[in-house]
Structure 1
Amino acid sequence: MNRFPDLDGNNIRMKIILLLAVLISVTGHAHYDEAYYHGSSAVADNSGWMAAVDGSKLLSQLSVVGTHNSMSLYGGDIAQTQSMSLIDQLNSGVRALDIRVKYDDGNMAIYHGIFFQYAYLGNNVFSVVSNFLAQNPTETIIMHIQQEEYEDAVGVQFGRKIDVLASQHNLPVWNGHTNPRLKNVRGKVIITYKNFPPIKIDAMPRSYFSDSEQGWKMSHNWELHDKWQVIKRFFKTADNGSYGTKYRHSLAFSIGVFPYFAASGHVSHGKGASRLATDYTTPGWSGTYPDFPRVSCFIGICTIAFEGLNTLAADYIGAGNIKRLGVLWADFPGKRLINNVNALNFGK
């Protein structure tokens, strides 16, 4: 006598197929994308890329990648926004820096929120930038300096300390028009500031740029697609705007989501990690998140996965949708994002 119930063969096959579909939908595949980079060396060799840019271009006509919280290499996934050292960022082609400084008992220490980054403004930022420009005189760098944990009581001391450090480290600061031509600022640093008054150095307030940033917050991972729609609209605004207006955009989010996730869409910070699934599939939700990829397809069912903002931006820019951008702040920028933004400077 048969000890087991008689099971319908077709029913078993269908259950196996559905089980495999579920397993495929939740099992990620490594996603290697050169728009996102989480490594410890330079991602590209672009140390002198601006040499080929028309020197008559105004600052407002340039398109460059900037690193958000450029020195934030420590603090774990919640606080880390970059993996390349400052010199590796510059050699890779980054031309805008976001430097967060805390006035700590007279020391100008680099922080990201409460996280000390084991670096100081003079030795680890001004000196590096000064030496880089001495070796690459065709380049210019936009440096935004912000007093982290702003205190009115130390505002003047903060500004004076910056003056002293800039002089000590021979920082070649641009002192002139707020929308200069590239040929006039080659080999120089254009400084913008927030939360401290300038003393001697000629720095521009942040308001001299038209910010299209979304802030640094998301409520949850599933807000990523909506943020990308807003970013695309701001890209178009800059592309169609006055060539005398200096624009800044941000792909970076560090509140509500991990910075690496917003940049990559990955399940972990590894540059070859798999994309995170959104929990939606096609064809049932075929109209959901149209800019996100459909992956791990099996018998007509595909998982809708998150896509990182670095990848979405690199694809959008590389497809020729815009001709000018301004400064694009990014976390963990990869070679393809940097190169696609830089290429905008050579278009007609």
Structure 2
Amino acid sequence: MIGARRVASRAALLAAALTCLAGAVATPALADQTPGYSHDGTIGLTATDWMARLSDSTLLSEMSLPGTHDSGSSVFGGDIAFTQSMNLATQLNSGIRAWDIRLGEYSGRLELYHGIARQGQDFQNDVLATADAFLQAHPTESILMRVKEEQTVTDFADQVHSYLAADPHVYRGSSDDPQLGDIRGKIVVLQDFSSSTREGIPWNNSDWSVQDNYTLSNNWDLANKWHSVAAQLDAASSGPATETYVNFLSGSGGSFPYFVASGHSSPGTGAPDLLTGWTRGIINSCGGSSSCIPEYPSVNCFLGTCSVAFQGTNVLAMQKMNATSGTHHRYGIVYSDFPGAGLIQDIINSNAGSGS
């Protein structure tokens, strides 16, 4: 009788295991719709006047500013070149206050480029005009605009100067760390090009700390990128008050920009996370690799062993910020690809006096 019970018990366990196995085999990596990442044209966030809550005496170095990397790269080039899904106007309406503007020349005019991929957007008529219209409607705000020569242009500095000199919203102060009251309603150019004329704040500034470790050889380099991002977030939170911190969450090379931002297997906002190929639990291949970081989630668990999925820098940065939500933390200028509403809002809320 005892032997029969054991056989029945083993049969029941086997049946249960087979049932679970069938379910596990049919289950892909879980869809991951996270507020840190969005590949949609709108993200459901309206934050047009959030800087109005900050004191006029707040220094640029004291602020946390959500930004976009390669801000205009949303038109041509496909997944290898796309870094944004929101257009420039939608970015500003969603709370973005720092742009990364890369320029080249086409038919005698400056246009947005990402590498060799021309984006069909004119510097004067699309970029500056969009910024001007926003600041006209929202004079408490300020837009930081990194300007970089992406494609070689013979008279690049002269062309940029001619457009900026004619724009009444461009900040013309001499301080490299201005107070917010002095730059409200202004475009603050972060000058990342050589010129005999000062057009704004020099990008290569001795009082600036910039993290832009952007080259990934393959998807597994994402862990190293995250370590760079996390270290810069910590540095900004605890570093000298007069130092301005810049943190690029973006990366490319051997990985698509959307993957670095999200960890997804495809670009969609709610696409599944890509599996790393490692496992945790009874079968633990993750522990033998420094690239299998604790921040990567365990998914599709079965009989004590779980697959490990990638997690993108946008998502991990938002999680790190959420861990200290409700307290003031300076994160500096945070440039990201495909930012979601949650990431943008966390950066905004970290400012002193933001009302968080």
TM-score by length of 2: 0.87
Distance 1:200 1:193, change over 3 A: closer
Mapping of residues 235-246 of structure 1, within 5 Å = 235-246=233-244
Which amino acid letter does the alignment assign opposite residue 62 of structure 2? Q
SS of residue paired to 2:163:
helix
Distance 1:11 1:53, change over 3 A: closer
Deviation for aligned residue 1:67? 0.4
Deviation for aligned residue 1:199? 2.8
CA contact (8 A) 1:294 1:303 kept: yes
User: Aligned equivalents of 2:107 and 2:213: distance in 1?
Assistant: 30
Mapping of residues 132-211 of structure 1, within 5 Å = 132-150=134-152, 154=154, 157-197=155-195, 199=197, 201-208=199-206, 210-211=208-209
Match of 1:306 among 301, 304, 310: 310
Match of 2:331 among 325, 330, 338: 325
- Correspondence for 1:116: 118
User: Aligned equivalents of 1:200 and 1:241: distance in 2?
Assistant: 28
Mapping of residues 72-111 of structure 1, within 5 Å = 72-73=73-74, 74-111=76-113
**For structure 2, which runs of at least 5 residues remain unmatched after alignment?**
1-9
Distance 1:347 1:319, change over 3 A: farther
CA contact (8 A) 2:191 2:199 kept: no
User: Aligned equivalents of 2:338 and 2:196: distance in 1?
Assistant: 30
Cα RMSD after superposing both structures: 2.4
Deviation for aligned residue 1:9? 7.1
Structure 1: 4+ residue segments shifted above 3 A: 8-22, 167-171, 200-203
User: Aligned equivalents of 1:229 and 1:201: distance in 2?
Assistant: 34
Deviation for aligned residue 1:82? 0.2
Identity of counterpart residues, as a percentage? 33
SS of residue paired to 1:133:
helix
Distance 1:279 1:130, change over 3 A: same
User: Aligned equivalents of 1:162 and 1:214: distance in 2?
Assistant: 24
CA contact (8 A) 2:207 2:243 kept: yes
User: Aligned equivalents of 2:246 and 2:39: distance in 1?
Assistant: 23
Deviation for aligned residue 1:102? 0.6
Deviation for aligned residue 1:105? 4.8
User: Aligned equivalents of 1:343 and 1:262: distance in 2?
Assistant: 24
Which amino acid letter does the alignment assign opposite residue 294 of structure 1? S
- Correspondence for 1:339: 345
User: Aligned equivalents of 1:86 and 1:198: distance in 2?
Assistant: 29
- Correspondence for 2:6: none
SS of residue paired to 1:269:
coil
Distance 1:14 1:282, change over 3 A: farther
CA contact (8 A) 2:24 2:302 kept: no
User: Aligned equivalents of 1:240 and 1:105: distance in 2?
Assistant: 47
SS of residue paired to 2:79:
coil
Distance 1:295 1:121, change over 3 A: same
CA contact (8 A) 1:253 1:259 kept: yes
Match of 2:226 among 212, 225, 228: 228
- Correspondence for 2:4: none
Which amino acid letter does the alignment assign opposite residue 332 of structure 2? G
User: Aligned equivalents of 1:104 and 1:35: distance in 2?
Assistant: 35
Deviation for aligned residue 1:24? 5.2
Mapping of residues 34-49 of structure 1, within 5 Å = 34-49=35-50
Which amino acid letter does the alignment assign opposite residue 334 of structure 1? G
Distance 1:140 1:208, change over 3 A: farther
Which amino acid letter does the alignment assign opposite residue 176 of structure 1? S
203-212 or 181-190, which deviates more: 203-212
Match of 1:281 among 263, 279, 282: 279
Deviation for aligned residue 1:44? 0.9
Distance 1:280 1:206, change over 3 A: same
User: Aligned equivalents of 2:203 and 2:31: distance in 1?
Assistant: 43
46-55 or 161-170, which deviates more: 161-170
Deviation for aligned residue 1:10? 8.8
338-347 or 10-19, which deviates more: 10-19
CA contact (8 A) 2:36 2:342 kept: yes
SS of residue paired to 1:281:
strand
User: Aligned equivalents of 1:313 and 1:202: distance in 2?
Assistant: 29
Which amino acid letter does the alignment assign opposite residue 289 of structure 1? I
Deviation for aligned residue 1:335? 0.5
CA contact (8 A) 1:248 1:326 kept: yes
User: Aligned equivalents of 1:41 and 1:11: distance in 2?
Assistant: 49
Cα offsets for 1:111-169 (capped at 9, x unmatched): 10110101010001011101111111111111100001235xx2xx2122122222444
User: Aligned equivalents of 2:109 and 2:210: distance in 1?
Assistant: 33
SS of residue paired to 2:237:
helix
SS of residue paired to 2:36:
coil
SS of residue paired to 2:211:
coil
